[in-house]
Structure 1
Amino acid sequence: MRMRRHSLQQEEETGIDLTPMLDVVFIMLIFFIVTSTFMREAGVEVQRPQADTASAQDAGNIFIAVTADGQIWIDKQAVDARSVRAHVERLRVDQPDGAVVVQADEDARTGLVVQVMDQARLAGVRDVALAATAGGR
């Protein structure tokens, strides 16, 4: 009988303990979630104009979309042109050195696009870019 207990105990000890490996996997998962950055989208798709001199830029942190019918979208919300500055200031709290990318529809009014860019600059943003699609017509 004593031999039998000994053989069962040996079989149980030969198994692999996965607890430390699972701990490492969960720690890595938490690390990647905490360090990842999430892109904020404007909330509406626009038909950007094409430009031969368009070049790829690093992704901006704040996207502002201006539609053909004069709507302004920031962070998936339609906003008024007068409140663009306040929204940009609120979004800059997370990343003070962030850039603003204005995604204007090719049929959007130029005056409205300039007003949006001006409001972003008044909010303290140094880098305001206008999005375009590379390639000619």
Structure 2
Amino acid sequence: MARTLYSEEEENGTGGINLTPLIDMVFILLIFFMVTASFVKESGIDINRPAAQSAEQKERANIIIAIKKNGEVWIDRRQVTLNALRAHVERLHAENPEGTVIISADKEAPTEFLVRALDEARLAGVAHVAIATLTP
């Protein structure tokens, strides 16, 4: 009677398929996809942005400042005052120095709040600040 290699392994208690390398590979792929995935950041409030003919698409925005039409300023889904805005931007910019700031102001928001937010972002040390608009 011919015995197969598989049946000898079963008798010795070492039978079966070793799944450890497969599981390791799956976890490595999972970590790779989690690290390379990009997530869309939102300001947390609804804004009616103005339209602009010269609008350009920015791929990444790490810090989004939202200004509502009543003058409320939001960053990281929290309402902040204009006086505290620079500290928040400095903290977020320290986490990612390569990041940019996008100011998403409502089209009916007072210009004073937009200019102050832009000024506070630049005073916080951010070189790249943009204003969010819609393409018509």
TM score, norm. by length of structure 1: 0.83
Identity across the alignment (%): 45
Partner of 1:56: 57
Consecutive unaligned residues in structure 1, runs of 5 or more: none
Q: Is the Cα–Cα contact under 8 Å of residues 64 and 101 in structure 1 kept in the other structure? A: yes
What's the CA shift for 1:30?
A: 2.0
Q: CA RMSD in A?
A: 2.5
Partner of 2:7: 9
What's the CA shift for 1:126?
A: 0.6
What's the CA shift for 1:6?
A: 7.3
Cα gap change, 1:134/1:28 in structure 2, threshold over 3 Å: closer, same or farther?
Answer: same
CA distance in 2, matches of 1:76, 1:132: 20
Q: What SS does the aligned partner of 1:132 have?
A: coil
CA distance in 2, matches of 1:94, 1:14: 51
CA distance in 2, matches of 1:101, 1:56: 11
Consecutive unaligned residues in structure 2, runs of 5 or more: none
What's the CA shift for 1:43?
A: 1.6
Larger CA deviation: 18-27 vs 5-14: 5-14
Cα gap change, 1:52/1:15 in structure 2, threshold over 3 Å: closer, same or farther?
Answer: same
Partner of 2:105: 104
Partner of 2:28: 27
CA distance in 1, matches of 2:36, 2:56: 28
Is residue 72 of structure 1 aligned with residue 70 of structure 2? no
Aligned length: 132
